[in-house]
Amino acid sequence: MGNSMKKLLPYLKSYTKETVLAPAFKLLEAGFDLSVPIVVQKIIDVGIANGDTGYIRRMILLLAVFALTGLASALTAQYFAARAATGFATNLRSALFRKIQAFSYTQTDRVGTATLITRMTSDVNQVQSGINLTLRLLLRSPIIVLGAMIMAFTVDVRGALVFVVTVPLLAVAVFTILLVCIPLYRRVQSDMDRVTSLTRENLTGVRVIRAFRKEREETVRFDKANREHRRSQLLVGKISALMNPLTLILVDGGLIALLLSGAVRVEAGGMTTGAVVALTNYMAQILVELVKLANTVFSVNKALACADRLEEVLDLPTGMPQHSDDTAPDSGFSIAFRGVGFTYAGNAAPSLSDLDFSVSPGETVGIIGSTGSGKTTLINLIPRFYDVTSGQVLVNGKDVRASDPEKLRQKIAVVPQKAVLFKGTVRSNLLWGNENATDDELWDALSIAQAKEFVAQKDGGLDALVEQNGRNFSGGQRQRLTIARALVRKPEILILDDSASALDYATEAELRNAIRKLPYRPTVLIVSQRTASIRHADQILVLEEGRIVGIGSHAELLKTCPVYREIYTSQFRKGGDPA
């Protein structure tokens, strides 16, 4: 068994009893199966030859006992194997989910969402199936093959020599095909990642696809990936399909040789008819078990390929390294950027360069710039979703890399660009901000976020149903609920990343005024495309291609920053409300 599967086996530890009992009962069943040809030989050579009907009845009764006991053993083994495999998969999925939850943004970006979904679903299912088959058949089939050979020699040594030739040939054929197929299974799973990625992309962006009438292009793109996946599956399928014909040809050749030599020897009186029947039954058992073993090993090898992929995820280091705090010169500031540069993993060009600015406690800062200028990247560095490539980000005078991420993020509430709500109720979503919040605190947060009115009108109020992704709310309502969720925390630092883009100017103005009047005076960072949303901020940062090209108040920037003035003028001319 591969190293990766060995590393995953600890997840079977809580099912040790089932892991032992499943193969034990399968071996018991194998023992009964190996005894059947000997009983049949006795019936022919003793009972039928002597005309002893009483002996025949006793042997038939013994066969019935073997059959029933074997069936009971097989069912018991199936139960324990299924229980162990299912429990293993449950433990493994839980470990994978915990691991993924501990990933930083960089690690999630590097691995990819689509492949993580495939690994938690398809790969885990393959490994579960491999464990199930291993417990049931991987030990039983070799024991039957070996046992049948040994039993054949007890029946007739000369006749059993056919087994000595046939079984090694079968083993060579089976394992040659396996060695060819193992790397191909890994390719199949990689192609599955691609199909999953495209499916997820299309389901997430279905409205955009329809709005731009790109159904045909997306269908062509998916069909191409699907055909590639089909080709790789067909290739490995065609090779693995050689298994059954090859084993049948070899075993049938052995049977022919056995029957020919047996017939001659029976005719000459050197061998009994019962012995020929027994040897034939043992050869048939070997055929059946080798076919089972081949299919089992195929499944186990698929499981091993999937186990390698799962091990890659489990082996990734989680979280972010904690650095020593060797500077604390800016303790008077709530937030400070000192020569900050940042480059995404795999990108050649930096996304942010030479950022220097400070934010005092309780200050409101606006951040504006064209699409792709680095606004969201900048605010993602404050709660340490990403680590800076150069420079320092300080929160309350302490480098965020020297802070405990959990304690750091308790001080910060981030409302992302995309409003994300989870299936449940309004209450359950708001309690993400503070699980101990009272109903009064929830209603206060909703009131500040300008969401109190529409929540009160919903059936159930705070207990109103929220569907997956909040699809039973409008875009503006979702944004206000996510802002309320952040406000429930009463954070020291509130970051609004273009989170009011779906609100009208009047509602947004009321929201800004309500946040400005908060009694606990949080430091507020507002990322926006609208100058009207940030013009009343204490200071405004203007970003262009990852650099600060202007910093100051609205009035100052209109005089000194051409980029800001151009944004403001273009919006004002298009009817933007400058008030």
**Superfamily of the domain at 3-315:** ABC transporter type 1, transmembrane domain (1.20.1560.10)
Q: How do residues 260-302 score in pLDDT, each as one tens digit?
A: 877 887 777 777 788 888 888 887 787 778 777 777 777 777 7
Q: In this predicted model, what pLDDT tens digit does every residue of 181-200 receive, in sequence order?
A: 777 877 887 788 788 888 88
Question: pLDDT at position 326, please?
Answer: 52
Q: For residue 369, is pLDDT > 70?
A: yes
End-to-end CA separation in angstroms for the chain: 70
d(Cα 134, Cα 77) in Å, to the nearest integer?
12
Instruction: List the chain domain ranges.
Output: 3-315, 325-411+491-579, 422-489
Distance CA 366, CA 357 (A): 12
Pairing of strands 547-552, 539-544: antiparallel
Who has greater pLDDT, 541 or 172? Answer: 541
Question: Per residue, what are the HEC states of 526-548?
Answer: EECCCHHHHCCCCEEEEEECCEE
The contacts of residue 144 (CB under 8 Å, 6+ apart) are 30, 33, 34, 285, 286, 289
Give per-residue pLDDT as tens, 397-409.
889 988 888 889 8
Q: Count Cα neighbours of 31 within 13 Å in the Cβ-side half-sphere.
A: 9
Is the model more confident about 38 or about 91? 91
Give the CA distances from residue 53 to residues 43, 57, 61, 192, in Å, rounded to whole numbers and listed in that order. 10, 6, 12, 62
CB 524 within 8 A of CB 334: no
CATH, domain 325-411+491-579, list 3.20.20.70, 3.90.1300.10, 3.40.50.300, 4.10.910.10: 3.40.50.300
